[in-house]
Structure 1
Amino acid sequence: MSDGAKAATASLPKRFYKEAQVIVTAEGFAIALDGRHARTPARAPLALPTAALAEAVAEEWRAQGEAIDPSTMPLTRLANVAIDGVAQEAEAVAAEIVKYAGSDLVCYRAEGPERLVARQSELWDPVLAFAREELGARFMLAEGVMFVGQPEETLAAVDRATPRDDPFVLAALSTMTTLTGSALIALGVLRGRFTAAAAWEAAEVDEAWNAELWGADSEAEARRALRWRDMAAAARMAALARTSPLPGGERSVRR
């Protein structure tokens, strides 16, 4: 381990628990560390809406070594955001997602070279098809970076498709939108139209082109890997957090 890595590890909080478990509470499926409730930075219980998501979060806590490294716990970090932030600001978070749709990545096409234009079309046209077919939204396209306004009814369709009722799903959708620069790609993942990997390939088409043209940069690749980890975690949370209504007001739980 390098001196820098040792210093970074030394600054992390020490692991203070032996076991991480999932327990059922009034708040949902909560994380317990040696029987005591884990809490968010705002001191709220770290409780998840489904057993499957709670187990995935608990596994991050179990995987920690002598120190607790938040950078290796993307689901936990995103759950904290959902509980401490998104749950109280759902409308503002949803509005920001719709704002992204107003200048969505997939609407701005390169003027050249032809191979890049073709690659963008290959990966981005299916996203626009998804928007038309599942959201009822038709987007205007532009070449270059000149802004093109989207029809009011188009953005209204995106607004209707943006869920507010589950802060974990909304937090995941917001994260995917920010990481990809595309509300449409993120909604496509949320609705099962695209896998996280396919969505990431579409979002990174310009970066991949530049790397192919000029060569890969190790620091840029490292940053890209971290962003992909967060993207994959957000897609996983979106899938594991969702519940479906059952008779009597109960909820089905993905195990």
Structure 2
Amino acid sequence: MTTLFDLTGTTAVVTGASRGIGRAMSEALASAGAHIVGVSATLASGSEVERAITSAGGSFESVSCDFADPDAVRSLAEDLSPRRVDILVNNAGTIERAPAADHPISSWDRVLQVNLTSQFQLTQQVGRGMLERGRGKIIFTASLLSFQGGINVPGYTAAKSGIAGLTKALANEWASGGVNVNAIAPGYIATDNTAALRSDPDRSRSILERIPAGRWGEPGDLAGATVFLASRASDYVSGIVLPVDGGWLGR
């Protein structure tokens, strides 16, 4: 059974790989045998994620890309297109908090560009190569707000709802071509994106009271789901948004 999860000889591109969830996903895929191409706006050779992976015997290369810049994303897609990318993890993201009535359109535009438009732009190009080869795994990072509305994050909610729909739309078209497209919806994970919530005693308490597991998630909690959706174990799984949320949505 363990061979079902063996990624030896594969190449995985992970965006937003420098920290938090993206770093945990990168380390998980590397531990299963994948070569990691880590992409982030600030990622440079010798980063913490690179050191962690290579010190454990894995292989890693760094690529810098600002996902708020459409031209940079286009260039990244063109650079990756000649390569055999077996696994694409679309994890890069940003969040802007402001009440909907006062939410700047510039913030809306930036969040939609980073969290949704750039994801499609990159996936479209990499996906073509996967379809030509007849095999590939694409994993998006969705959110609990792919299912719910959130508070003070209208752009983020719209983008993550769009990711859920995009996952299903691409799966409908590409599953017959051997390309599995799925998403993971992290629950409340202790990362930079949730620092504001965790620092607010009332919000943190109300969130914890609803999580059956009784704790905030850690980035490493996404490891198993990531390897599963990247491996042969999920060859007949397409178009799902898999919550990893400590039971939040079941409450």
TM-score, length-scaled by structure 2 = 0.27
Please identify which structure carries the higher strand content: 2
| Structure with greater helix percent | 1
